[in-house]
Structure 1
Amino acid sequence: MTDLASNKTPAAPLPHGMPWLRLAFRPFYLGAALLAALTVPLWVAVFLGAVNWLPTPPTVLWHAHEMLFGFAIAVIVGFLMTAGKTWTGLATPRGPALGFLFLLWLSARVASLLAPYAVFAVLDLALLPIVGLIFLRLLIRSRNWRNVPLALILLLLTLVNLTFHLSANGLVELAPMRSLYAALGFIVIIECVMAGRVVPFFTTSALPNIKIIGRPWLDRSALAATAIGMTLWVTEWHNGLATAALALAFALNLVRQWRWHPLATLGRPILWILHASHLWLTLGLGLLALAQLGLMPASLGVHALGVGATGGLIIGMMTRTARGHTGRPLTADAPELAAYVLVMIAALLRVLLPMLAPSLYSYALLASASAWSAAFLIYLWQYTPWLVSARPDNKDG
């Protein structure tokens, strides 16, 4: 006799485990937001002499390293380990395994403040190769070849980080900041790839009257020019070629963004933050091209990419993906809007004010750091209750 129960659709598995360790975006987004909110004001206070304290690496290197390998990498890991489950249909680390990965990240951040350098370096180097290999294994098992380059970039970032620690201790003859510029380059490449995928998709999904016809050759050309330009800039191999490649990357990214109808998104904050951040990416490439010509300091282009592009894309994706994966509407309420505006203000103050009025540099740092910190404190206030509790629809994730 046929078992009637066998004809029923299997029920979805019930949620299990602590909610904040069910998907990687939960702990890593919280950690990244807390790091962003606390360490940037600390860095400015130390830099301006208001606080007499020295972190484990030299102060400037500590600030740049923690923004890249602490803040940005936490969000990238949280995003990829969450998206990887959707892309591959395979389980990603959760529960104790996810807790271990987060603890590795957190222990390195604490060690950068308090521990001997060797302890900091060992802890800091542990996370990326583990995550990169986990992600690569998922992609290979599911034959998701399209995203394999993202896993390889995570592994390459491990080598960049190793080079940074060796050079910071004088074990290799390389300026440590070059390694950090290389890390920024890889992060910009990831942003260029992901923005090309999600920004037009999110735009057409939210605005059905907008039609965006894909131009794969334009996306590939923009990505290639960006990668080549950043590589030449980092390596200082050829100033003229670097200028030309960065200028071309600026033009191609500007053209492709214009085709995404950015002005149509002005009434949708959850969309315009992504468009505005991509514009900062484009402007950052242009500013680096001008810096190659000696027309302005390279730090302005670096902070356009770091604060405007990376910070903006991160706050935009941290709100959107957290809302989606916690079962909430994909809209931006007043707290999100305030956070978006504050990050954009932080970028304007950090890049444009020193450019237009160099004598106000210290005030620009203070104001920019305050706006940046406020943005991520707002994120923590709004999202912490959601990220540490179960979804309201009682689904897993």
Structure 2
Amino acid sequence: MQTGASARECRAAGPRVMASTAEQMRAWRGPAILSYGFRPFFLGAALWAAVAMALWVAVLTGAADLPLAFDPISWHAHEFLFGYLGAVVAGFLMTAVPNWTGRLPIVGARLGLLAALWLVGRVVVAVPGPLSPLAVAVIDLGFPVLLALAILREIVAGKNWRNLIVLALLGVMIAANGLFHWEAARGDFAAEGYGLRLGLAAGIGMIALIGGRIVPSFTRNWLVVQGSPARPVPPMQRFDKLVLLASGAVLLLWVAAPARAEAGWALLALAALHAARLARWSGWHGRGEPLLWVLHLGYGFVPLGALALGVSILWPALLPPAAGLHVWMAGALGLMTLAVMTRATLGHGGQALTAGPGTVAIYLCLVASVLLRLWAGMSGAVWPLHLSALAWAAAFGGFALLYGPLLARARRR
């Protein structure tokens, strides 16, 4: 399974797929940003990640007073997990599915409608006005439900049954979002509820599944071009399937009983399994290309996050649970999605698949944000938290500045 990161890497899908996709894009005469699914959603996700972080800091410091649909911490968690990540998942799926199924991509007005629904969801969750919690939930869930139906139609029409698992994980995210809204409406602290954990588990499951295919594949492609004899272990071997099955079991245990010692020990074991899986992909040999090592580093936050959460459960005095949670949320989800967005934008924008200094800078800003957030949680100091927020906004604001023009203009011929 490929992300559609470049024409060269997707050529295996066959000439008919490539030709029909190109014909569909050429037939579109409207704004270039509506010519492919990754364009509006990757740009919207990056802008929202930066803006939402700035709004959250302003609310926490008293500089702004927004009538949020949830308490500030729950809103912050919701808008990253279901707002930002939801847009990235949409951009990825709407770019990858045509390559999986051989069908034409969704473009133009239909794509614009989906993007508008996502944006309306962000507005009503931030400023619900007279809307009831039920109305806010219905509006917010409208986008992912419609996306799932569109993706299901394409997979069924293309008889691409092997990728139904990705759609199933999207379904889990939708259910988790609905559960988050329900918990908040009944007065629970949704940032520590079942909905958040279930949504995060689905996100980590997507990284384990999709990342487990693209990271070794892209690594092999790069090593072949470089003439290196090193090769990663091919994706989805028996060990990979074992890790995925173990991940599902451990994540469900953590969702259901996050404070139990059994969940802590299981997370430590899961960390070891994912670290061993990552070590099989020859990441060290790709250290010369940032577009490659960032994928390995992003995946590396999966075992690091499992380790941090396990430690926070077993020895909470060493690491608060919220700090451990951010290793997965900001580290694994944040860096992995940023890596995929940069690579896909370069490839589909007709650019060389190599990272310049600006791209390396936004990667480093995001890594710094994760480390500073971890430091803030361990030390109890406030200033690392503010620096973490600044580094986060710089990473995604930097992506919007660097890659926004590529996303908004037609592909170079």
TM-score by length of 2: 0.87
- Matching residue of 1:81: 94
- Indicate whether 1:217 and 2:230 are aligned: no
- Matching residue of 2:80: 67
- Indicate whether 1:310 and 2:323 are aligned: no
- Matching residue of 2:400: 380
- The secondary structure found in structure 1 opposite 2:193 is helix
Q: Offset of 1:171 from its aligned partner?
A: 8.4
Q: Is the 8 A contact 1:265 1:271 kept in 2?
A: yes
- Matching residue of 2:177: 161
Q: Is the 8 A contact 2:66 2:126 kept in 1?
A: no
Q: Is the 8 A contact 2:169 2:205 kept in 1?
A: no
Percent of aligned positions with the same letter in both sequences?
35
- Matching residue of 2:215: 199
CA gap 1:160/1:334 in 2 versus in 1, 3 angstroms: same
- Indicate whether 1:150 and 2:166 are aligned: yes
Q: Distance in 2 between matches of 1:175 and 1:391?
A: 40
Q: Offset of 1:26 from its aligned partner?
A: 0.4
Structure 2 unaligned residues grouped into runs of 5+: 1-18
Q: Offset of 1:213 from its aligned partner?
A: 2.6
Moved more, 166-175 or 342-351: 166-175
Q: Offset of 1:332 from its aligned partner?
A: 0.5
Q: Distance in 2 between matches of 1:354 and 1:158?
A: 29
Q: CA RMSD in A?
A: 2.0
Q: Distance in 1 between matches of 2:117 and 2:233?
A: 43
2:265 pairs, out of 233, 236, 244, with 244
CA gap 1:175/1:197 in 2 versus in 1, 3 angstroms: closer
Aligned residues: 381
- Matching residue of 2:15: none
Q: Distance in 1 between matches of 2:404 and 2:191?
A: 39
Q: Offset of 1:388 from its aligned partner?
A: 1.2
Q: Is the 8 A contact 2:38 2:92 kept in 1?
A: yes
Letter in 1 for 2:245: A
- The secondary structure found in structure 2 opposite 1:332 is coil
Q: Is the 8 A contact 2:74 2:191 kept in 1?
A: no
Q: Distance in 2 between matches of 1:307 and 1:227?
A: 21
CA gap 1:340/1:238 in 2 versus in 1, 3 angstroms: closer
Letter in 2 for 1:113: A
Q: Distance in 2 between matches of 1:34 and 1:133?
A: 26
Q: Which structure: larger Rg? A: 1
Q: Offset of 1:41 from its aligned partner?
A: 2.3
- Matching residue of 1:5: none
TM-score by length of 1: 0.91
Letter in 1 for 2:211: A
- Matching residue of 1:6: none
Q: Distance in 1 between matches of 2:339 and 2:191?
A: 33
1:16 pairs, out of 11, 25, 28, with 28
- Matching residue of 2:349: 326
- The secondary structure found in structure 2 opposite 1:159 is helix
- The secondary structure found in structure 2 opposite 1:207 is helix
Q: Is the 8 A contact 2:349 2:407 kept in 1?
A: yes
Letter in 1 for 2:28: H
- Matching residue of 2:12: none
Letter in 2 for 1:16: W
